[in-house]
């Protein structure tokens, strides 16, 4: 592996939304950043590193998060990096759904059970990986070394299960609002479906001076 083949890709989750605060399912629902979410992003902004190119899920919470972090930067939107479509669960809370049979069935096996009006986990995962592979192709075409994707918790977890150096289950990955991970790896290896060589949390949790 040649050093000039190394790329860094940041995966960031959007800031806290009004639906997050209500603990409501919000996949394709265009929920907006809450006031608390905006304040947290403002607090985190100074610790966000530079990237040559940034893209975001086309849902407003991701577009707005990107605008907080990288002001005056043009952000392209990629619908492949949307959260899973939760179908009839969208906008509802566990308390509202706990007696609904389809919901109880899905909770027992969310990776296999279909969601009425939504996506299966298989459909979601295939969509995300198609977007990921298209993104890697673009990095190769444009010779980009440092890039970032602003997306959703489920998308980041799925990508980490596929490409992180350490193999962990979907729910084992902790993905907080406004935060994420930087993946470093060989672009040619990533394009072959191999894992990255290192992973670190962003923004850095170390306290900066001043």
What are the tens digits of pLDDT across the range 65-103?
Answer: 999 999 988 999 999 999 999 999 999 999 999 999 999
- Element containing residue 103 per DSSP (H, E): helix 101-108
Half-sphere exposure of residue 73: CA atoms within 13 angstroms, side-chain side? 21
Mean pLDDT score across all residues of the chain: 94
Residue 208: pLDDT band with limits 50, 70, 90 = very low
From the number of C-beta atoms within 10 Å of its C-beta (0-12, 13-18, 19+), residue 190 rates as: buried
**pLDDT level of residue 137 (50, 70, 90 thresholds):** very high
Longest dimension (CA), the chain: 56
Give the 3-state secondary structure of residue 183: strand
Tell me what the mean pLDDT of segment 102-125 comes to: 94
pLDDT, tens digit, 9 for 90 and up, residues 138-184: 999 999 999 999 999 999 999 999 999 999 999 999 999 999 999 99
Q: Where are the domains of the chain?
A: 3-202
CB of 177 closer than 8 Å to CB of 33: no
Domain 3-202, architecture per CATH: 3-Layer(aba) Sandwich (3.40)
Residue 206 has pLDDT above 60, yes or no: no
Predicted TM-score (pTM) of this structure: 0.94
Mean pLDDT of 35-40: 97
What is the structure's pLDDT at 3?
60
């Amino acid at each position: 592996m040649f050093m000039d083949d190394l790329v860094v890709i940041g995966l960031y989750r959007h800031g806290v939304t009004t639906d997050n605060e209500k603990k409501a399912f919000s996949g394709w629902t265009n929920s907006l950043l809450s006031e608390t979410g905006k304040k947290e992003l403002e607090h985190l902004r100074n610790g966000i590193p530079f990237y040559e190119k940034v893209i975001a899920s086309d849902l407003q919470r991701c577009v707005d998060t990107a605008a907080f972090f990288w002001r005056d930067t043009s952000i392209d939107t990629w619908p492949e990096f949307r959260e899973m479509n939760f179908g009839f669960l969208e906008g509802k809370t566990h308390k509202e759904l706990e007696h609904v049979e389809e919901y109880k069935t899905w909770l027992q096996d969310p990776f296999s059970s279909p969601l009425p009006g939504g996506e299966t986990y298989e459909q979601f995962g295939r969509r995300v990986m198609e977007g990921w592979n298209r993104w890697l192709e673009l990095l190769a075409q444009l010779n980009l070394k440092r890039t970032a994707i602003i997306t959703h918790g489920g998308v980041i977890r799925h990508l980490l299960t596929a490409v992180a150096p350490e193999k962990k289950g979907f729910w084992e990955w902790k993905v907080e609002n406004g935060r994420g991970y930087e993946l470093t790896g060989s672009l040619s290896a990533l394009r072959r479906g191999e894992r990255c060589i290192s992973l670190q949390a962003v923004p850095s949790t170390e306290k900066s001076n001043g």
